[in-house]
Amino acid sequence: MVSVDDYGEFETEWCPGCGNFMILKALKRALAELGRSPDEVLLTSGIGQSSKLPHYLKCNLFNGLHGRSLPPAIGAKVANHELTVLAVTGDGDCYGEGGNHFLHNVRRNPNITLIVHDNQIYGLTKGQASPTSEPGMKTKVQTHGVFNTPLNPLSLAISLDCSFVSRGFAGDVSHLTELIKKAIQHKGFSLVDVLQPCVSFNKLNTFSWYSERVYRMEEEGDGYDPGDRVKAFERSLEWGERIPLGVFYVNEKPTFEDHLDVLRSGPLVSNKADPKKVDELLDRFI
Question: In the chain, what are the domain boundaries?
Answer: 4-284
Give the residue ranges of DSSP H helices in 119-249. 153-159, 173-185, 207-211, 229-236
pLDDT for residue 31 is more than 90 = yes
Give the residue ranges of DSSP H helices in the chain. 20-33, 70-79, 91, 99-108, 153-159, 173-185, 207-211, 229-236, 275-285
Q: What are phi and psi of 177, to 5 degrees?
A: -60, -45
Residue 205 gets which letter from DSSP? Answer: S
Low-confidence winner among 54-68, 167-181, 206-220, 271-285 (lowest mean pLDDT): 271-285
Amino acid at the residue 209: W
Give CA–CA dist 216/176, Å, rounded.
11
Give CA–CA dist 191/246, Å, rounded.
11
pLDDT for residue 275 is more than 90 = no
Q: What are phi and psi of 260, to 5 degrees?
A: -100, 105
pLDDT for residue 271 is more than 90 = no
Question: Torsion-angle region of residue 223: left (phi > 0), alpha (psi -120 to 50) or beta?
Answer: left
Q: What is the mean pLDDT of residues 238-243?
A: 96
pLDDT > 90 fraction of the chain, expressed in percent and rounded:
91
Q: What is the mean pLDDT of residues 56-74?
A: 96
So what's the pLDDT on residue 191? 98
pLDDT tens column, 118-139: 999 999 999 999 999 999 999 9
Give CA–CA dist 132/122, Å, rounded.
10
Who has greater pLDDT, 217 or 272? Answer: 217
Pairing of strands 243-250, 164-169: antiparallel
pLDDT tens column, 138-176: 998 999 999 999 999 999 999 999 999 999 999 999 999
pLDDT for residue 277 is more than 90 = no
Give CA–CA dist 51/59, Å, rounded.
15
Highest CATH level, class, for 4-284: alpha beta
Q: Which residues contact 97 (CB under 8 A, 6 or more apart)?
A: 46, 47, 66, 67, 68
pTM over 0.85: yes
Q: What is the mean pLDDT of residues 13-39?
A: 97
What is the average pLDDT value for the chain, to the nearest integer? 96
pLDDT confidence bin for 273, thresholds 50/70/90? confident
Q: What are phi and psi of 67, to 5 degrees?
A: 80, 10
Strand order in the sheet with 243-250: 60-63, 41-45, 84-90, 113-118, 190-195, 164-169, 243-250, 214-216
